[in-house]
Chains A and B, each alone.
Chain A
């Protein structure tokens, strides 16, 4: 197990290095460089000033040389500054990460809880199954940004009950969390339903019932733990889609966080911030996937052998 974790961490490191090089190259292909932007912002600057600016900041050197310079600075603990916000990158990343983790943690917990509840209901009471199924198809097909807009129109514009965005107090969390929960709960509901249906048909469940145990005990104490394992796989695969969901919801609800930071940085040509924020988001996603994998192996030793 420790050897496996070390191997996976090594893989992660290789992925991050590759990713940083690829993103660096892509950023080089984006429209507008800082010197162009400086010219556009100040009419007194001419083309020769732009050339001097480029030479001053090393923007005239080839992309690969600039990447190596950036990489050695980052490895030396120099993360640099954000051009868009005029602040050190680290001062922006940590608050954004915590804000996103709070949003995503809440959304993950609620969507797993509600989704699993619905799935178990569908398996234990077959007459609810078609309803849960239809709900799952509907939830899975809803574009998250559209749902967010509808919630804003209903609860913020029409009824005025909740704020349309921002990060003030817990009320600003309600609509973004609700959006993420609806979009994510379908996968849990479907997998919980099929896993529970499988387990409930096994002989040991019949034995438990025959012993005279109550329905709830059989369902939650005997059947559910065995059905819960595949749900961890769903959670592991879901880490990436949660981060994607954060980008959409944070942008719509104007909520500061990693998703909005990445989007704003890319749209605002803030290369250094965009690159570091993307790498941090990727690292957190991969760590979450690794943690879910490890939990699965710990709970089911058969997987390790």
Chain B
């Protein structure tokens, strides 16, 4: 119960901060992406509660706008991966045979590969060659979401398949079939609600995984491109300034840590509750 509350509280606070970003920007009177070269490395003050970075941009504002990026990517990936994973897991469990074999071999294969090096390859693909605009923050978010979903569905699919297999063996399934329920209705109205518990837990963990992966890719220079703020690219910027402004490295990392910990606590709490 403590976990559930702590996790929900942490995530709620961060989501609220992300929502309030424009209000804070209006209140402080700065722009998160606009350099102010007369105010580089300003110490914390009333005008800049967390100080400024190497281009004179307000750290607090960048942190808040970074929260929007991280939460958007996290939720979008979790939604897409959970949807795709659940659908494929249900399909594998229901259809069996070669469909099941092909899907599960694919899942095993993806799980046995080193994910990050392949994510780096995928993220290095030039969006312009696929007909997408390059360097826009919204394109970056979409690109990262698609890439992370390609790897994210696997865990959910295995979980959904295992849960659906054990449900399909139960008597109520046979009873529903005898009553003339169509297979689609059976899966949608009977099986899905009964396996939703573990899937919700997996989706919560997927948010945490996606936020960690997004920040890692942005840190490596392959995720959200500056000047748009993301926690990962803020840290990548801070790494170059480790000797001159070491404190700039603290806040974005702490933000990632708290968000990911919030997700794990929430997932743990949900799992224990049932």
Task: State whether A150 touches B121 (Cβ < 8 A).
Answer: no
Report the minimal beta-carbon distance from B4 to chain A, rounded to whole angstroms: 13
Most chain-A Cβ atoms within 10 A of its Cβ — which of B112, B125, B220, B238? B112
Report the minimal beta-carbon distance from A35 to chain B, rounded to whole angstroms: 16
The answer to the question of A45 belonging to the interface, with a C-beta cut-off of 8 Å to chain B, is no
Q: Given A150-B249, A262-B117, do A26 and B122 touch, yes or no (CB 8 Å)? A: yes
Q: Given A27-B121, A244-B114, A285-B113, do A149 and B249 touch, yes or no (CB 8 Å)? A: yes
The answer to the question of B9 belonging to the interface, with a C-beta cut-off of 8 Å to chain A, is no
Q: How large is the interface on A (under 10, 10 to 19, 20 to 34, 35 or more residues)?
A: 35 or more
Interface residues of B in 216-259 (CB under 8 A from A): 216, 219-221, 235, 238-239, 242-243, 246, 249-250, 252-253, 256-258
Report the minimal beta-carbon distance from B237 to chain A, rounded to whole angstroms: 11
The answer to the question of A237 belonging to the interface, with a C-beta cut-off of 8 Å to chain B, is yes
Task: State whether B249 touches A146 (Cβ < 8 A).
Answer: yes
The answer to the question of A234 belonging to the interface, with a C-beta cut-off of 8 Å to chain B, is no
The answer to the question of B136 belonging to the interface, with a C-beta cut-off of 8 Å to chain A, is no
Q: How large is the interface on B (under 10, 10 to 19, 20 to 34, 35 or more residues)?
A: 35 or more
Task: State whether A149 touches B116 (Cβ < 8 A).
Answer: no
Task: State whether A150 touches B116 (Cβ < 8 A).
Answer: no
Task: State whether B125 touches A30 (Cβ < 8 A).
Answer: yes
Interface residues of A in 229-262 (CB under 8 A from B): 237, 239-241, 243-245, 247-248, 251-252, 259, 262
Q: How far, in whole Å, are A240 and B243 apart by their CA atoms in the complex?
A: 33
Most chain-B Cβ atoms within 10 A of its Cβ — which of A147, A153, A251? A153
**Which chain A residues border B268 with CB–CB below 8 Å?**
137
A interface: dominant SS: helix
Partner of B116, one of A19, A30, A248: A248
**Which chain B residues border A245 with CB–CB below 8 Å?**
116
Task: State whether A266 touches B124 (Cβ < 8 A).
Answer: yes
Q: How far, in whole Å, are A244 and B216 apart by their CA atoms in the complex?
A: 10
Q: How far, in whole Å, are A157 and B238 apart by their CA atoms in the complex?
A: 14
Residue of A nearest to B2 (CB): A130
Report the minimal beta-carbon distance from A41 to chain B, rounded to whole angstroms: 20
The answer to the question of B14 belonging to the interface, with a C-beta cut-off of 8 Å to chain A, is no
**Which chain A residues border B125 with CB–CB below 8 Å?**
26, 29-30
Partner of A149, one of B253, B257, B261: B253
The answer to the question of A278 belonging to the interface, with a C-beta cut-off of 8 Å to chain B, is yes
**Which chain A residues border B239 with CB–CB below 8 Å?**
149, 252
The answer to the question of B195 belonging to the interface, with a C-beta cut-off of 8 Å to chain A, is no
**Which chain B residues border A31 with CB–CB below 8 Å?**
126, 128-129
In the assembled complex, 9 residue pairs joining A and B whose CB atoms fall closer than 8 Å, in A order, are A19-B113, A141-B260, A142-B253, A143-B256, A153-B242, A157-B242, A240-B112, A244-B115, A247-B114
- A residues contacting B by CB (< 8 A) are 11, 15, 19, 23, 26-27, 29-31, 137-138, 140-147, 149-150, 152-153, 157-158, 237, 239-241, 243-245, 247-248, 251-252, 259, 262-263, 266-267, 274, 278, 281-282, 285-286, 289
